[in-house]
Amino acid sequence: MPPQFPTGILIDMRIAGIGAGSWGTALASLLRSKGHDVVLWDIDPEPVRSIEETGNNSRYLPGIDLSPGLRATTDLAEAVAGAELIILAVPSQVMREVAEEIRPLLPTAAPDVVLCSVTKGIEVETLMLMHEVLEDVLPPEVHPRLTYLSGPSFAVEVAAGLPTAVTIAGKDLTQARRVQVAVHTPYFRPYLTEDVVGVEIGGGVKNVVAIAAGLADGMGFDANAHAALITRGLSEMARLGMARGANPLTFGGLSGVGDLVLTCSSTKSRNYRVGQALGQRRSLQSIQEELGQVAEGVVNAKAVHLLATSLGVEMPLCNAVYRLLYEGLSPQDAITELAARDLKHELPGRDIPE
């Protein structure tokens, strides 16, 4: 018997996808496959033209046929008008400017429009998480309808219909539930949580740890180092999250260890590839030129470093990535420094004998 799906709640919604990059396009295609009326917007006419004319996004998801009937536009007002769900899938550092453009258009959306940020990162100028940026820009009546989707989800796999599980966070679970029902498919399983901060800290930190994992790989290290990096990276993520009031259990979930394992273990991750190339002594500039897409970990290494410093949270791994990217620390010196640190108890805040 085929899987049964909840029906009746916001099925066949009018949906605006903001950002026709890899993730925005993959989610838009998934949503369209359920029969929703989806309009993708992008500032860049190239992916819009490609989707409209060929049914593919040749720049961001080459070779993948998108769901028939998916529409795309460079006119933000057209995308937002009548929308019942707005998916925000732009890089973290432009979330504020995009939200500012959406704000005056919100009265044209459905009165109970729910917004879902699928962006992972911290605004480097302000050290705000995406929910803080959105609450800063958008009117208070919208705040209970802000939700956040995160977890281990490579866009290319979602676009290809491969099984994926994610977490949707919302301060108001009834709103997050609306998004859960809207995105649920036989191969895309969303869970719910109220822990917005925990989910967002996980998404911000994991890309930085992925650079470290790629670096270790690029330097020729093997499985032992890989496992140690993921585990200690998780520890740093949890420390920062708890300092911001997150539920520690969140970091054992999909948006924590789940996303960390994914991002640290595959060359599908741009951040992992950045680290790998750095480990092979290539310059950051040449790596970024070659990628031509957002590697959130690069700017988020700075944001995480600054946030951890401001909160007095020790994050040696993320700090080493920051110094590697911004202060010219060599990969070999980063490893030497990490290994030479004072010996510690494995659990935070515990002393060891003299």
Ligand X SMILES: NC(=O)c1ccc[n+]([C@@H]2O[C@H](COP(=O)([O-])OP(=O)(O)OC[C@H]3O[C@@H](n4cnc5c(N)ncnc54)[C@H](O)[C@@H]3O)[C@@H](O)[C@H]2O)c1
Active site residues: 206
Q: Which position among 148, 154, 251, 322 is part of the footprint of ligand X (CB under 6 A)?
A: 154
Q: Which is nearer to ligand X, 206 or 331 (CB)?
A: 206
The nearest distance, CB 144 to ligand X, in angstroms, is 23
CA distances from 23 to 82, 111, 231 (A): 22, 26, 26
Q: Which stretch binds ligand X (CB under 6 A): 118-126, 167-175, 278-286, 345-353?
A: 118-126
If binding is defined by CB under 6 A, does position 91 make contact with ligand X? Answer: yes
Q: Which is nearer to ligand X, 269 or 335 (CB)?
A: 269
- Beta strands (DSSP E) in the chain are 14-18, 37-41, 71-73, 85-88, 114-117, 122-123, 128-129, 146-150, 164-170, 188-193
| Closest chain position to ligand X (CB) | 21
The nearest distance, CB 152 to ligand X, in angstroms, is 9
Report the distance separating Cα 134 and Cα 143, nearest Å. Answer: 8
The nearest distance, CB 57 to ligand X, in angstroms, is 9
Q: Which position among 21, 202, 204, 256 is part of the footprint of ligand X (CB under 6 A)?
A: 21
Q: Which position among 50, 92, 147, 193 is part of the footprint of ligand X (CB under 6 A)?
A: 92
If binding is defined by CB under 6 A, does position 263 make contact with ligand X? Answer: no
Residue with tokens 């999250």: 241
CA neighbor of 188 nearest in space, from 228, 159, 212: 159
If binding is defined by CB under 6 A, does position 293 make contact with ligand X? Answer: yes
Q: Which is nearer to ligand X, 103 or 329 (CB)?
A: 103
Q: Which is nearer to ligand X, 121 or 218 (CB)?
A: 121
If binding is defined by CB under 6 A, does position 22 make contact with ligand X? Answer: yes
Q: Which is nearer to ligand X, 98 or 238 (CB)?
A: 98
* 32 CB-contact burial (10 Å; exposed 0-12 / middle 13-18 / buried 19+): buried
If binding is defined by CB under 6 A, does position 294 make contact with ligand X? Answer: yes
End-to-end C-alpha distance for the chain, whole angstroms: 63
Q: Tokens at residue 162, please?
A: 């491969």
Angle between helices 296-311 and 196-218 (to 10 degrees): 120
If binding is defined by CB under 6 A, does position 121 make contact with ligand X? Answer: yes
If binding is defined by CB under 6 A, does position 66 make contact with ligand X? Answer: no
Binding-site size for ligand X (CB under 6 A) equals 28
If binding is defined by CB under 6 A, does position 273 make contact with ligand X? Answer: no
Q: Which position among 70, 86, 89, 238 is part of the footprint of ligand X (CB under 6 A)?
A: 89
Q: Which is nearer to ligand X, 291 or 338 (CB)?
A: 291
If binding is defined by CB under 6 A, does position 170 make contact with ligand X? Answer: no
265 within 8 A of 213, measured Cβ to Cβ: yes
Three-class DSSP labels, 274-316? HHHHHHCCCCHHHHHHHHCCCCHHHHHHHHHHHHHHHHCCCCH
The nearest distance, CB 131 to ligand X, in angstroms, is 13
Three-class DSSP labels, 176-227? HHHHHHHHCECCEEEEEECCHHHHHHHHHHHHHHHHHHHHHHHCCCCHHHHH
List residues near ligand X by CB under 6 A: 19-24, 42-44, 47, 60, 89-92, 94, 97-98, 118-121, 153-155, 293-294, 296
